[in-house]
Structure formats: structure tokens, C-alpha cells
Amino acid sequence: MSRPHGIPLPSAQRSSDSDETESACADDKQGQPRPREGVRQLTGAERVRTLVESNASVSLTLIGARDSHESEEFGTGLPVARTVTPDGDVILLVSGESAAARAAAHAQDDDLTAVIEITDVAPVSVPHRIRGRAWLAGWLTPVRGDDRAVCAALLAERHPVGELLGMQESLDAPHAGRPAWMMLRLEVGEISVDDLWGAEHVDPDDLAAAEPDPMVAHESELLQHLHSAHGDRLGELGGLLGAREARGMTAVPLSLDRLGLRVRFTGGPAGSFDARFDFPEPVADICGLRRAMHSLLSAASY
């Protein structure tokens, strides 16, 4: 099966409530602070893969839906779990009663085009809280046959959802006999991301080869802990910048990955700005992160 091409992504990769001249990351006139140059970063494919595997909110939209009620349901319905196959397809677990499930079940193979939109919001209170959005467009089909067990195992590995993966039938009339849950496959044809690092298109083949950041499962909890328990220590990181404007500003941990920590400094006369603090080496687990954070905070205290 060839991959689809030419599937339209949302215009200009922006949210529906944003001004047409602003990016998807712009929350007000100042806009989302962008990073300074010369820092290490994840590739676009790694960032999208991490978003897919994260707990960020996701919506599923059917392209060209004619029925207004069905279109609204596609736009607001939320898959309860998703993951990426080794081939780069996105597997979604949706209610068997959803419009997405019904449309996919009745469409001919590869006829149903859809877009997944993932919105990444910082887990701590901070100006410009939307950290980014990603869009993945492609063909939507039900997962069938022997692939069901394989895809269910992939979902369970990333998102333990208990009985949802039992795929039991609904017992409630008038829907008796229908599957309570359905797995859908999005064969990805186009990908776009607009986040803290900037806006770019991502090759679907690169998504298949990319790995999610190992910190994705822990990032929200870790940032909230840093903010609540070590806010003063984070403020000391401003001394590493050699920037006079960072003095007296509030430091809020904004994002964390295997390569480093991003902090947003707010409350200064010039407004908000971001600073990225690289770890001495990439971290692979919580133990490595603990050592990296200790080294970073120790350097700031001198």
C-alpha cells in the first residue's frame, strides 16, 4: 500500500482561535519565546514521536466530512490511547460507538483521510503555556485480523488501559454486538510540527525511525516537582547565562528531555525569555537525570 500524498493539513498550522499572523505557539502579542541558537535539540521526527507517545491532548478530524454532526464529533472526540508502529503508522484506540469508528468501518480501504492534531500544554503555570502542536495527516482504516493482537500489545506497552484492550462487545441496546472499542490505523502521509523549536515539516519515514524521548513518561511530574520544591534553585540558573536581565526574574521549568532543561524567565522589564541548559551528556533514565540535574544546579550555585 503506497502512502498518501497531498492531504491538506490545517491551514498555516495554527489553532482556530489564533490570529492569522501568529504561529500555533503564540498566546499573545509577544508570542512564544524561541530558543537561542547553538543548543542541542531533538530532531523534528523525535519531537513528533514524543508528542504522539505523550499524554498531550489529541483530536481526530475527518477531512471532507459532509455531515455537520459527524464532523463536530470527529473534531471533539478524543482517542483514549495511541502509539506508533515500527512502520510509522499511528494506532488509535477509540470508542466503538464513535463517529470515527463507524466511518472507518464503512469506508473502503484507504478512502478515509483524516488529521490528528496534538496540542502540548506545559504542566506548570507559565505565560505562553501552549508549548506546541503537531499534525499528522493520512489514511484511516480499522485494524483487522492478526494485526489486532500486535497493535493491542503496542498500545498496552505505551498506555496500560486495562480492560479497554479486551475489545469486548457492547451489551447495551441498541448497540449490542458492536465492539466497545476499536483500534484505528492512520497511515501517515504528511506531518507538520510547530513547537518551542520552530515550525517544520517531518518526513513520515523519519517518524518511523525515530524514538520517543525517554523522559516523556516522567516529564510532567518532574517539572511540577522542580517548580514547587526547587523554584529558588532554578532561579540561580540565571547566573549561568551571564545575563544581567535574568536577575530578579522568576524562573519556571518549561520542558525537559534527554538533552537538557528549558527554563522560562518571567517578570523582567523586557518580558519573558527562554534559556536552555544542556546536560553534560544525554540521559537515559531517572537516575541519569538526577545526576545531570545535580551537576547543573551545583554549577549554578558557585
pLDDT in tens, 173-197: 444 455 678 899 999 999 999 999 9
What pLDDT is stored for residue 208 in this prediction?
94
From first CA to last CA, the distance across the chain in angstroms is 59
Q: What is the mean pLDDT of residues 120-127?
A: 93
Q: Is the pLDDT of residue 31 over 70?
A: no
Whether 106 has a pLDDT exceeding 70, the answer reads yes
**For the residues 224-244, what does the mean pLDDT come to?**
85
Contacts (Cβ under 8 Å, ≥6 apart) of 20: 12, 14
Confidence of residue 25 (pLDDT cuts 50, 70, 90): low
In angstroms, the CA 168 to CA 48 distance is: 31
* Cα dihedral 82, 210, 153, 159 sign: negative
Q: Check pLDDT > 90 for residue 118.
A: yes
% of the chain at pLDDT higher than 90: 46
Higher pLDDT, 14 or 63: 63
Is pLDDT of 16 > 80? no
Comparing 299 with 174, the larger pLDDT belongs to 299
Residue 41 clears pLDDT 70, i.e. is over it: yes
* Mean pLDDT over the full length of the chain: 79
Closest among 246, 243, 225 to 235, alpha carbons compared:
246
- Distances, alpha carbon 218 to alpha carbons 42, 70, 255, 302, in Å: 17, 36, 11, 29
Mean pLDDT of 152-167: 68
Q: Choose among 216, 220, 246, 225: nearest CA to 293.
A: 225
| The pLDDT of residue 242 | 72
Q: Which of 260, 253, 224 is nearest to 236 (CA)?
A: 253
Whether 98 and 169 have beta carbons less than 8 Å apart is answered as no
Q: Using 50, 70 and 90 to split pLDDT, how confident is the model at 272? A: confident
Average pLDDT over residues 102-126: 89
